[in-house]
Amino acid sequence: MKQGQALGIGLVTVALATGGGYWFGSRTSAPGNTTISSAGSDDSGVKKERKLLYYRNPMGLPDTSPTPKKDPMGMNYIPVYEGEDTGESDAAGTITVSTEKVQKLGVRTEAAQRRVLDRIVRAAGRVEPDERRLYAIAPKFEGYVERLHVNVTGQPVGKGQPLFEVYSPELVSAQREYAIAAQGVDALKGAGGEAQDGMRQLAESSLLRLKNWDIPEAQVKAMAKSGQTRRTLTFHSPVAGIVTEKKALQGMRFMPGEMLYQVADLSSVWVVADVFEQDIGLLKPGAKATVRINAYPDKIFEGKVSYVYPTLNPDTRTVPVRVELANPGLLLKPAMFAQVELPVAAQKNGMANVVTVPVSAIIDSGKRQIALVQLGKDEKAGRFEPREVKLGARSDNYVEVIEGIKEGEQVVVAANFLIDAESNLKAAVGGFGAAPTEGAGKLAATVGHQASGTIESVDAATGMVSIEHGPVASLKWPAMTMEFKPANAALMKGLQPGAAIDFEFVERGQGEWVITGIKPANHKQH
């Protein structure tokens, strides 16, 4: 019994000594030190110390500092150590994301392929009357409106249909002058040649005057035959169409050249589309066009581009393009809005058979275009290389890659913005075209951030969730209330205001925080 007691006392002594040593070692490693021991240890039991590389912006902006500092919001910059997290680069400019993260973010890749880039140029337009089918009725003499046969705007009229009657003292005088001259010609048939020629010239000039006033020839012949003048003159529609303007009023006085009616033939109309400046070089007269009208969603109207205007609107940076359309049934009405689609076939000088990637594969910062290329054959490996690319022609879904990506290489086409946030891609590509600085070959990876909080509100319309969360250690954030956007609709199911949750999030864009995982909080709701 005494030997057993002694052995037990010895074991307790060893345990206390070991625990005390661990406590003492942890106390001597103060939080303010510039180096922190790593989690792993070598075979000799000596712990390795991580080297401090630099301090990065807490909001994920491409800004680093060799010394501690604060951002404009008063938040401390985050230290970045060598070999920290799974987002560290295997080589300069290479991003490594864990397999679990790749699956959680929904990363999807697609091979760069050669294809023909046919595309459709879309533009908004409006229906307008064909200017060649507009007719104005304007008397060439002074007079008065005696009677209206068509007295409303919008009334359909047939060709030759009476529109209105006018009275003019000048017209009556000209008719009498012609009638007297015609009678004089008949009376001087047996007279000398000079008198007969003079009277004939007077009659011809009087007749020409009436014709120049657009008096119908049939009415002139009837008047010449009877020798009687008419008090009023009837104006007829020159074409079958719609009265688009009516200024004539019963009894009004009009002056020479004043338009009293306008008739439009709407059997054929124009659609004037506003095409953006960058697309205008793809269009040529004669190209086919498809037009859709909101009033007739089940109908498609087909026409041809008849003219590309030589002027550009400096405010909208668009060029008008005229499309001619047949208008059976007069369904298309002037001033209607139209959606115009202009198919553009692939050109032989480069748009055909080129290396392309999906449009979603491109991260455009405004100054440069970046694509994430997967390294290795395993699609779940999670190793990606950001490359600056030079782009060419575009279609609706694909874009030509002139430089930066070869045929067959796998590019990230889904969740590339989330990888950007996960790995601080801006810092990785910030050194493109610049001399490397200390720590530039390493990535300040921020593999998702964890927090706990309470749901304030859920907006299903915008897909945003307002959360009152506690401090976020990985970002050095204090407790606050923010809006987050779930990465997919499934994460929003069951979210109710007042619920206590634990969640994980990343930064997809500057100031845009995306929830990638959410679950009920382990602690009880208060």
Residues spanned by the domain of 171 = 139-258
Last residue of a domain, one of 309, 344, 379: 344
DSSP element (H, E) containing 5: helix 2-28
Q: Would you say residue 86 lies in a domain? A: no
Lowest-pLDDT range, 38-42, 167-171, 190-194, 311-315? Answer: 38-42
% residues pLDDT > 90 (the chain)? 30
Please state the rounded mean pLDDT for residues 87-112: 68
Do both 174 and 236 map to the same domain? yes
CA distances from 188 to 176, 195, 367 (A): 18, 7, 93
Residues 335 and 360 in one domain: no
Same domain assignment for residues 143 and 248:
yes
Residue 292 has pLDDT above 90, yes or no: yes
Model confidence pTM above 0.95: no
Q: Are 111 and 125 in the same domain?
A: no
- Asked whether residue 6 carries a pLDDT value surpassing 50, the answer given is no
CB-CB contact of 223 with 230 (8 Å): yes
Q: Report yes or no on 195 lying in a domain.
A: yes
Question: What is the token pair recorded at 172?
Answer: 């009556």
How far is residue 516's CA from residue 97's CA, in Å, rounded to a whole number?
15
Do residues 105 and 206 share a domain? no
> Of 423, 351, 327, which Cα lies nearest the Cα of 115?
351
Indicate the residue type of 476.
Answer: K
- CB-based contacts of 301: which residues, under 8 Å, 6+ apart? 290, 291, 292, 293, 325, 332
**Which of 215-219, 275-279, 316-320, 440-444 is the least confident region?**
440-444
Q: Which amino acid is at 153?
A: T
334 and 401 in one domain?
no
The mean pLDDT value for 491-509 works out to 84
Residue at which a domain ends, from 429, 461, 480: 429
Tell me: do 320 and 239 sit in the same domain: no
3-state secondary structure of 225: helix
Name the most confidently modeled range: 104-108, 118-122, 358-362, 442-446: 358-362
Q: Residue 419, exposed/middle/buried by CB under 10 A (0-12, 13-18, 19+)?
A: buried
CB environment 220-236: b (16+ within 10 A), e (fewer): eeebbeeeeebeebebb
CATH number at residue 314: 2.40.30.170
Instruction: Say yes or no: 234 and 251 in one domain.
Output: yes
Residue 404 is part of a domain; what is its CATH number?
A: 2.40.420.20
Strand order of the β-sheet with 134-137 is 134-137, 261-264, 241-246, 156-157
Backbone angles phi, psi at 302, to 5 degrees: -115, 140
The candidate with the shortest Cα–Cα distance to 373, out of 112, 106, 113, is: 112
Same domain, 278 and 245: no
Q: Which amino acid is residue 232, in one-letter code? A: T
SS3 197: helix
pLDDT in tens, 311-341: 999 999 999 999 999 998 899 999 999 999 9
Indicate if 395 and 465 belong to the same structural domain. no
- Cα separation, 455 vs 468, whole angstroms: 6
In a domain, 106, yes or no: yes
pLDDT tens sequence across 253-291 = 999 999 999 999 999 999 999 999 988 888 888 889 999
> Could you tell me the two tokens for 45?
């039991």
Q: What average pLDDT does the segment 415-431 reach?
A: 55
Sequence-distant (6+) residues with CB within 8 A of 380 are 99, 102, 103
Shared domain check, 148 and 237? yes
**In which element (H, E) is residue 289 found?**
strand 288-293
Q: Give the Cα separation of 173 and 168 in Å (integer).
A: 9
Domains contained in the chain, number: 5
Of 318, 344, 370, the position where a domain reaches its end is: 344
Q: How far is 444 from 62, CA to CA, in rounded Å?
A: 10
- Rg from Cα positions in the chain: 43
| 294 shares its domain with 340 | yes
Classify residue 459: in a domain, yes or no. yes
Tens of pLDDT, residues 38-66? 333 344 445 556 778 778 776 555 577 88
Residue 88 lies in a domain: no
Is residue 437 included in any domain, yes or no?
A: no
Residue 439 lies in a domain: no
Domain of residue 498, CATH code: 2.40.50.320
**Is there a domain that residue 234 lies in?**
yes
**CA distances for 198 relative to 178, 189, 193, angstroms:** 14, 12, 8
- Spatial separation of the C-alpha atoms in residues 269 and 147, rounded to whole Å: 32
What is the 3 state secondary structure string of 454-520? EEEEEECCCCEEEEEECCEHHHCECCEEEEEEECCHHHHCCCCCCCEEEEEEEEEECCEEEEEEEEE
Q: What is the pLDDT of residue 23?
A: 38
Choose from 184-188, 229-233, 412-416, 516-520 the range with maximum mean pLDDT: 516-520
- Length of the chain (residues): 526
